[in-house]
Amino acid sequence: MNIVNVMWAGGKPFMSIHRVHQQVLSHAGSDARISHWLLLGSGLCHGQGLTREWHMPHRMLKGHGLWRLMRPWVRLRLRKALMEAGAEVVLLDGIGVARLVLPLLKKMPQLRAKVLFHGRTRLTQRDLRLLCSLPEDRLSLAAVSQTLAHSLAHELGRPVQALRVAFDPQAFIEPLLSREQARQALAMSQTDGPVLGAVGRLVESKGFEVLIEAFAQVAPQQPRMQLAIIGEGPLRAALQARIDELGLAGRVHLCGHRDDVQQLYRAFDWMMVPSRAEGLGLVVQEAVIADVPVVCSDLPVFREQLQDSGHYLPVGDVGAWVKLIEHCDAACGLVLAARQHQAMAPEAAWQAFCEGCEGLLRS
């Protein structure tokens, strides 16, 4: 089976999406030949197969203005490349890529498409017509959580497979660093107090400014507590300015992007996830597998994963985060981590994910 994995772009901002596609494609079978196409920009897809960079103009991909007129010409190039590659299946990164590629299916009867949705997306009427115009034996839709799948299925009026992304627990645990090693890697080896952790892009939807404001109110009563945020993004300068303004330099650490982030979870005594919106929130799974207790915003996708073991706070409520941080003690954390591990059942989740991937790619 020849599979072409068509991604919007490469690079650090899209790393989590690439990881999901790599996980899915790892279940394609030993006979599969896989290639990766990046429509915008550069960046390796660290997985089986070769990577091709198309360097398409961003405004053309978005369909802005006169750039929309270039799309027929681009589709001709894509069609020719798919035929040369002998593609039988295309795995598409969300609706943005689907808008460009799916019209080709009408002229390529040998091709089947799989669209994987990673987060809530505003679908236009044009999108709805496009997705509903192709039969289910040619086009399969999947989403990275049950919550997202239900929402999309309701909007589209056609099945959407819930492919809740999961990790192989043993493969994830093996490279984890110890508490001391992880803190040394983050240049926090001298810290002897509790460390609150957060992981994600520095963007508004992650809600890290709420966490910083809450930490500032607790900091005078918890002089040994520190906060470390791993990730990079456009809000870095604004967040750092606020940290300095609050007098938290040396207590709140913006650690930047880390390629080894999956090894570092045990540096944290608690994982804080103050997101305003998420398609899945892989950091929740990663923290639970690493036996780090999780506190998160009250979002349906987090309840789907943690069920009754979750510690949920209202979205954007600084006061609620203040009260929570005041009571983040080690004993409570150990009990909560054990409950969350049992509720998430990583081994069973991994098995279900493997079976779902095989079904998606082979259907």
In the chain, domain spans: 2-163, 169-346
Share of the chain above pLDDT 90, in %: 75
Residues 6+ apart with CB under 8 A from 247: none
Lowest average pLDDT, out of 44-48, 141-145, 286-290, 347-351, goes to 44-48
Q: Point out which residues pair with 309 in neighbouring strands.
A: none
CATH of domain 169-346: 3.40.50.2000
- Find the mean pLDDT for residues 61-79: 80
Q: What is the pLDDT of residue 122?
A: 84
Torsion of CA 318, 224, 291, 261, to 10 degrees: 80
- Local structure of residue 177 (DSSP, 8 states): P
Can you give the pTM of this predicted structure? 0.86
Q: Where are the alpha helices (DSSP H) in the chain?
A: 15-25, 58-62, 71-85, 94-101, 125-132, 146-156, 169-173, 179-185, 208-218, 236-245, 282-289, 300-306, 318-326, 330-344, 346-362
Give the model confidence (pLDDT) of 316-346 as tens digits.
999 999 999 999 988 899 999 999 999 999 9
Phi-psi label, residue 187: left if phi above 0, alpha if psi -120 to 50, beta otherwise:
left
Q: How confident is the model at residue 45 (pLDDT cuts 50, 70, 90)?
A: low
CATH of domain 2-163: 3.40.50.11930
Q: Where are the alpha helices (DSSP H) in 219-345?
A: 236-245, 282-289, 300-306, 318-326, 330-344
pLDDT at 7 over 80: yes
Give the model confidence (pLDDT) of 185-201 as tens digits.
999 878 788 999 999 99
Same fold, 2-163 and 169-346: yes
Q: Burial code of 341-352, b = ≥16 C-beta within 10 A, e = fewer?
A: beebebeebbee
Tokens 């985060």: give the residue. 321
Residues 6+ apart with CB under 8 A from 308: 343
| Length of the chain measured in residues | 363
Q: What is the pLDDT of residue 331?
A: 83
Q: What is the pLDDT of residue 74?
A: 87
What span, in angstroms and rounded, lies between the C-alpha atoms of 231 and 251? 17
Give the model confidence (pLDDT) of 204-239 as tens digits.
999 999 999 999 999 999 999 999 999 999 999 999
3-state class (DSSP) for residue 281: coil
